């Protein structure tokens, strides 16, 4: 009798989906950094310097509104900074899109404005605070700094997007007797949406830095002033909670931008 071959089912190797692999790598990296932070501060720094353990202890008290005596109210500072950031982002985004589109479509506007916009973009934000304090009212200086910080990267990115518009798009539109506003807002602006979102990502960081620096220099109500006050009064745990809120705000806005990218531009960066 001939032996009948039998198939033996081998156990499948344990595999982790690529998405979960990326998540585990990020979590492991964060844990390693926190451990190094705790060990190095315990070893090298004075006792009042913030550590992950002390920040975790202070976190629930600060979120409950229990700040040290004399310290600015936490949630009032958060509200002031967040409101200024979103208001400045809205103003800077609208103005940046309009000016960048104008520069990209009109050569005269390009020649008149690009040099000065590049100069302001290269200028440190800290150097602009005294100027804004003189040019506008001190209470409006923070909004001016934040709006300018959002305006500059969005304007330059929209300009690049409008300049890179394929010429045959415009030629086809002119063949159908399209008006200039149809070309600008119906062709050039939609084609520049990836550039708008890239500029928005850059604007988020500049807006948070601008708001924090303005509150620090001008002693305005907000997270920037709270960070400086608690740092100088040796309440660094409370200070680090404010820093974490700023970081969480920036990450949240960038996540919202990612969601908008996948919803509005499903064809853009599909591999991500």
Distance CA 21, CA 18 (A): 5
Which of 147, 116, 133 is CA-nearest to residue 210?
Answer: 147
Residue 177 located in a structural domain: yes
Distance CA 29, CA 41 (A): 18
Please give the pLDDT value at position 7.
60
Q: Which residue segment(s) compose the domain that 93 sits in?
A: 67-264
Name the stretches of the chain with pLDDT < 50: 1, 270-272
Residue 120 located in a structural domain: yes
Please give the pLDDT value at position 19.
74
Residue 2 located in a structural domain: no
Please give the pLDDT value at position 272.
45
Which of 103, 105, 98, 129 is CA-nearest to residue 118?
Answer: 103
Residue 12 located in a structural domain: no
Domain count, the chain: 1
Please give the pLDDT value at position 4.
57
Residue 160 located in a structural domain: yes
Domain of residue 248, CATH code: 1.10.3720.10
Please give the pLDDT value at position 128.
81
Distance CA 145, CA 140 (A): 9
DSSP state of 187: I
Residue 193 located in a structural domain: yes
Residue 188 located in a structural domain: yes
Residue 36 located in a structural domain: no
pLDDT, tens digit, 9 for 90 and up, residues 50-90: 888 888 888 888 888 787 887 888 888 889 899 999 999 99
């Amino acid at each position: 009798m001939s032996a009948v071959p039998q198939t033996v089912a081998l156990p499948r190797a344990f595999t982790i989906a690529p998405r979960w692999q990326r998540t585990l790598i990020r979590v492991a990296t964060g844990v390693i950094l926190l451990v190094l932070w705790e060990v190095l501060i315990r070893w090298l720094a004075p006792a009042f310097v913030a550590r992950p353990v002390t920040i975790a202890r202070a976190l629930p008290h600060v979120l409950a509104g229990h700040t040290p005596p004399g310290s600015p109210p936490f949630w009032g500072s958060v509200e002031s900074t967040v409101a200024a950031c979103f208001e400045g982002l809205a103003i800077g985004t609208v103005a940046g899109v309009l000016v960048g589109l104008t520069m990209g479509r009109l050569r005269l506007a390009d020649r008149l404005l690009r040099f000065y916009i590049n100069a302001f973009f290269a200028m440190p934000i800290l150097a602009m605070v005294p100027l804004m304090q003189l040019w506008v009212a001190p209470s409006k200086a923070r909004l001016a700094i934040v709006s300018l910080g959002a305006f500059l990267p969005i304007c330059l990115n929209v300009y690049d997007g409008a300049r890179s518009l394929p010429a045959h798009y415009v030629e086809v539109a002119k063949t159908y007797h399209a008006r200039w506003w149809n070309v600008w807002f119906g062709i050039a602006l939609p084609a520049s949406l990836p550039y708008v979102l890239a500029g928005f990502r850059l604007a988020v960081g500049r807006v948070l830095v601008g708001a924090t620096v303005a509150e620090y220099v001008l002693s305005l109500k907000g997270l920037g002033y709270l960070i400086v006050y608690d740092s100088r009064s040796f309440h660094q745990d409370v200070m680090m909670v404010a820093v974490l809120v700023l970081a969480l705000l920036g990450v949240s806005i960038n996540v919202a931008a990612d969601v908008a990218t996948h919803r509005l531009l499903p064809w853009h960066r599909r591999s991500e």
